[in-house]
A and B are shown apart, each in its own frame.
Chain A
Amino acid sequence: MSTLSLSNIAVRYKGQLRPAVEGASLSVDHGEFVVLTGRSGCGKSTLLNVAAGLVLPERGEASVDGRAIEGPGADRAVVFQSDALFPWFSARDNVAFALRLRGIGERQRQQTADDLLRRVRLEGLGDKPVWEMSGGMRQRVGLARALAAEPAFLLMDEPLGALDALTRERMQTLLLDIWAPGNLGVLMVTHGIEEALLLGTRVVVMAPDPGRIAHTFEAGFSRRYAAGEPIRSIKADPAFAAARAALADAIFEGEPA
């Protein structure tokens, strides 16, 4: 059982007076799905990037199982909003990228990549150039590419932010299916209130100026999905609507109307 832990993190970007993040502490256990949400500019992406090792904090400690995070690493694979796929590779070669970096042979790479493409429901599309794919398909290739690194933690920065509403719902189910077996800790940034509640086992609300953690909600809806309850019935639960209203209040707290 692995734990990703951020403690008392402060980040200040060059040339900025106010820190982007100040005194934020957070931990993600294996099997947890932690969602970071909040208004624009509250530092949620910055905090995720600290966990990824892409941003080094000015103060505070970022570590995995007590080992300090000193840079990016395959134990914490990242999925980006822009999908950041490599258009010069086919879908399969994109997925197999982490394996290629480790010097794993062509046949083994292909097989693993095709298995992962099946898992993200892109079976048989391995040879397709990614620049011919729709936004939803590309995002699924990005997800499969991150999973190929066999990370302990999956870090996702608004992975569904650029998708249309229908595709988004389908992707939410897919993310839950990927997480449900419990062998991954997930940290995800989103603007979507409903998405945060539906996916997160814990929802962390951040507030801006300076970016800090304002509230933390425990949410059980994704566990209910993992236990077999359909999404439709979860969303129809009055408890879901009540939690949604409470979360919205927390996010917009202190915001002039």
Chain B
Amino acid sequence: MTLLQAERGRRELAEPEMSTVRSPYSQTSRRELSSRTISAITILVGLLAWTLITRLGLVAPLFLPPPQDVLAKFWTVASRGFVDATLVQHLLASLGRVFAALVAATVVGIPVGLAIGTSRIGRGIFDPLLEFLRPIPPLAYLPLIIIWFGIGESAKVLVIAIAMVAPIALSTASGVRNVQQDRLNAARSLGATRRQVIRFVVLPSALPSILTGLRIALGAGWTTLVAAELVAATRGLGFMIQSAAQFLVTDVVVMGILVIAAVAFVLEFGLRWLERRLVPWAGRD
């Protein structure tokens, strides 16, 4: 019996009732693989291809180091460090910047989104500003930030925060605009003032959308990390990758990329978990 047959057999035993419940998007029956299994297989195939290519010597290790080298490098950098800091120190430096930026962007983005969603004047002021900021790549405004704010820590945080403000503000605004009219009317007819309507109805209504915005922002901030750490950083994952690239230490570059991807993955799932805890009603109501 192959592995796949075993998988099918187990599913038939464990979830006979599943075959009657079909998602409208993907018609999975118990005879087909779930998308999660397919994802796992894809990753395995990718790893296998990587191993084979390096093992057969098709590409020089300088361009693509073999997986075991990268793994070994992971342990070396984790224990002994690279460019004067261990992996954990690099990671903490980067996480610190991204979370400082997240706090700053949230403090600015949520009120801006609220203003866009609830007031004509707010919308008139902030909509063009956000639409101007949103499409600019971080590398383009980086020089200006350095000229204005120098090469200190605050400039790095600012570069990341700028990339985060627009997604937070725009999703807050869209959440605010999509508040059910009946809920607003219900609150008003029970005697709520404008402030009370915003506090008790508008903000909680928009919370699922705000959390989605935070998720997108965290992703955007994390991708801006390397740019932010281009200048005068002494620690950070982005800085580590750049230093390694300058000395052609490709295995550290690849390892750094994988760590950045893994952290992004963990952050994403952390926020999804937070969403389930904070807004269990979202999508079910």
Residues of A at under 8 Å CB distance from B? Answer: 52-54, 71-74, 76-78, 80, 82, 84, 86-88, 97-98, 100-102, 129-131, 142, 145-146, 149, 155
Q: B219 within 8 Å of A by Cβ?
A: no
Can you name 16 extra interface pairs (CB under 8 A) apart from A74-B189, A86-B200, A86-B201? A53-B189, A71-B188, A73-B191, A76-B189, A78-B189, A84-B183, A88-B204, A97-B187, A98-B191, A100-B200, A101-B191, A101-B192, A101-B196, A129-B281, A131-B284, A146-B190
Q: B32 within 8 Å of A by Cβ?
A: no
- Considering the chains assembled together, what is the distance between the CA atoms of A43 and B281 in angstroms? 33
Q: Tell me whether B191 and A102 are in contact (CB under 8 A).
A: yes
Q: Tell me whether B190 and A98 are in contact (CB under 8 A).
A: yes
The 7 sampled A-B contact pairs (Cβ below 8 Å) are A53-B189, A73-B191, A86-B183, A97-B190, A101-B196, A131-B281, A149-B191
In the assembled complex, how far is the CB of residue B195 from the closest CB belonging to chain A, in whole angstroms? 11
Interface centre among B187, B191, B201, B284 (most CB of A within 10 A): B191
Residue from A73, A88, A129, A130 within 8 A of B189 (CB atoms): A73
- Which 9 A-B residue pairings sit nearest by Cβ, starting from the closest? A74-B191, A87-B281, A84-B182, A84-B186, A88-B204, A72-B189, A131-B281, A87-B285, A72-B188
In the assembled complex, how far is the CB of residue A175 from the closest CB belonging to chain B, in whole angstroms? 18
Interface centre among A52, A71, A97, A155 (most CB of B within 10 A): A97
Q: B151 within 8 Å of A by Cβ?
A: no
Write the chain B residue with the least CB distance to A93.
B200
In the assembled complex, how far is the CB of residue B275 from the closest CB belonging to chain A, in whole angstroms? 13
Q: Tell me whether B186 and A80 are in contact (CB under 8 A).
A: yes
List of A residues within 8 angstroms of B182 by Cβ: 80, 82, 84
- Considering the chains assembled together, what is the distance between the CA atoms of A71 and B185 in angstroms? 10
- Considering the chains assembled together, what is the distance between the CA atoms of A129 and B187 in angstroms? 18
In the assembled complex, how far is the CB of residue B131 from the closest CB belonging to chain A, in whole angstroms? 28
Classify the interface of chain B: helix, strand, loop or mixed: helix
List of A residues within 8 angstroms of B205 by Cβ: 88
- Considering the chains assembled together, what is the distance between the CA atoms of A73 and B188 in angstroms? 7
- Considering the chains assembled together, what is the distance between the CA atoms of A86 and B279 in angstroms? 12
Write the chain B residue with the least CB distance to A142.
B186
Write the chain B residue with the least CB distance to A54.
B185
- Considering the chains assembled together, what is the distance between the CA atoms of A97 and B187 in angstroms? 8
A-B contact count (CB 8 A): 71
List of B residues within 8 angstroms of A88 by Cβ: 204-205, 207, 279, 281
Residue from B196, B200, B204, B285 within 8 A of A131 (CB atoms): B285
Residues of B at under 8 Å CB distance from A? Answer: 180, 182-183, 185-193, 196, 200-201, 204-205, 207, 279-281, 284-285
Write the chain B residue with the least CB distance to A82.
B182
List of A residues within 8 angstroms of B204 by Cβ: 86, 88
Interface centre among B186, B191, B284 (most CB of A within 10 A): B186
- Considering the chains assembled together, what is the distance between the CA atoms of A72 and B204 in angstroms? 22
- Considering the chains assembled together, what is the distance between the CA atoms of A142 and B182 in angstroms? 12
Q: Tell me whether B190 and A77 are in contact (CB under 8 A).
A: yes
Interface centre among A77, A101, A142, A149 (most CB of B within 10 A): A101
- Considering the chains assembled together, what is the distance between the CA atoms of A1 and B187 in angstroms? 26
Q: Tell me whether B190 and A149 are in contact (CB under 8 A).
A: yes
List of A residues within 8 angstroms of B200 by Cβ: 86, 97, 100-101
- Considering the chains assembled together, what is the distance between the CA atoms of A68 and B193 in angstroms? 19
Q: Tell me whether B190 and A145 are in contact (CB under 8 A).
A: yes
In the assembled complex, how far is the CB of residue B267 from the closest CB belonging to chain A, in whole angstroms? 24
In the assembled complex, how far is the CB of residue A32 from the closest CB belonging to chain B, in whole angstroms? 20
List of B residues within 8 angstroms of A87 by Cβ: 281, 284-285
- Considering the chains assembled together, what is the distance between the CA atoms of A178 and B204 in angstroms? 31
- Considering the chains assembled together, what is the distance between the CA atoms of A246 and B284 in angstroms? 42
List of A residues within 8 angstroms of B185 by Cβ: 52, 54, 72, 78, 80, 84
Q: Tell me whether B180 and A101 are in contact (CB under 8 A).
A: no
- Considering the chains assembled together, what is the distance between the CA atoms of A3 and B204 in angstroms? 36
Q: Tell me whether B280 and A129 are in contact (CB under 8 A).
A: yes
- Considering the chains assembled together, what is the distance between the CA atoms of A130 and B279 in angstroms? 13
Given contacts A88-B279, A129-B280, A131-B284, A74 and B190 within 8 Å (CB-CB): yes
Q: Tell me whether B180 and A82 are in contact (CB under 8 A).
A: yes
In the assembled complex, how far is the CB of residue B230 from the closest CB belonging to chain A, in whole angstroms? 42
Interface centre among A72, A131, A145 (most CB of B within 10 A): A72
Given contacts A87-B285, A88-B279, A54 and B188 within 8 Å (CB-CB): yes
Write the chain A residue with the least CB distance to B193.
A101
List of B residues within 8 angstroms of A129 by Cβ: 280-281
Write the chain B residue with the least CB distance to A49.
B185
List of A residues within 8 angstroms of B207 by Cβ: 88
Write the chain A residue with the least CB distance to B186.
A84
Interface centre among B187, B189, B205, B281 (most CB of A within 10 A): B189
Q: Tell me whether B279 and A77 are in contact (CB under 8 A).
A: no
- Considering the chains assembled together, what is the distance between the CA atoms of A78 and B281 in angstroms? 23
